[in-house]
Structure 1
Amino acid sequence: MPESAREVFVAVQRNGDGDLTSFKTSSGRVLNYEEALREVQAGAIAGVNAFKGKDGGTYLRGDADGDPTNNLDALPTF
């Protein structure tokens, strides 16, 4: 899928511990963490990648592009 056709995350929701739980896309869709993970792994979301943590779980993080303002933790909440 071309980069220009892919959605991006524009806002996030967090739980009481500050962990990311939901993501709002540039088209206005709201995805829970598992849905977001599947879409990132399928290549439908730009600027984010999935990685295996030390605990064996798979997690989301923003692509390393040197711009801290577009990291997932820096996105506004909704």
Structure 2
Amino acid sequence: MNEGSTNTDFEAIYENYKQQGELQAVQEQTEAAADGLESIVAVRKNEDGDIIAVKTSSGRELDYVSALNEAKSGNLAHVDVFHRYGRDILRSEPDGIKSNNLDQLPHF
């Protein structure tokens, strides 16, 4: 970008980038559903706000450890498992869509 660019140019470019990412994320979700992969559609939390169970798109209710195992096996779409604090942690893929973050999903 040239030196004469304004802050508005940067903002417009970034907004376009975010919109393209959101479109791609929706497309990937559609493709995962077509591949028969389940996704997490709701969560259950304990009194501390920790996710203790999930509900999948097919209606299955999984405790947290079972959901981790399903994700590790590649059976759950749009989630990642990473190791931190001495344990495995389930999280939604960072796709720029806040509404599908595990903490934002409806409760069951």
State the TM-score bracket (shorter-chain normalisation): over 0.9
Displacement after TM superposition at 1:12 (Å): 0.4
* Distance of 1:69 and 1:56 partners within structure 2: 28
* Helix, strand or coil at the partner of 2:54: strand
TM-score, normalised relative to structure 2: 0.68
Percent identity between the aligned chains? Answer: 46
1:74 corresponding residue in structure 2: 104
The Cα shift of 1:56 comes to: 1.6
Q: Note the C-alpha offset of 1:49.
A: 0.6
2:59 counterpart letter in structure 1: G
Name the one with the larger helix percent.
2
User: Which AA in structure 1 matches 2:106?
Assistant: P
Provide structure 1 residue ranges, at least 5 long, that are not aligned to the other structure: none
Gaps of 5+ in 2: 1-30
Q: Which residue of 2 aligns with 1:58?
A: 88
Number of residues paired by the alignment? 76
Q: Which amino acid aligns with 1:15?
A: N
Report SS of the residue matched to 1:40.
helix
Structure 1 stretches of at least 4 aligned residues deviating more than 6 Å after TM superposition: none
Q: Alpha-carbon deviations, 1:16-44, whole Å to 9, x = none? A: 10000000000000000000000000000
TM-score by structure 1 length? 0.93
Mapped to 1, the partners of 2:96 and 2:64 lie a distance apart of: 24
Specify which of 53, 58, 62 is matched with residue 31 of structure 1: 62
Q: Distance in 1 between matches of 2:99 and 2:43?
A: 14
Residue from 69, 77, 91 that aligns with 1:46: 77
Residue aligning to 2:27: none
For 1:58, the aligned partner's letter is D
Q: Which has the higher strand share?
A: 1
State the superposition RMSD in angstroms.
1.0
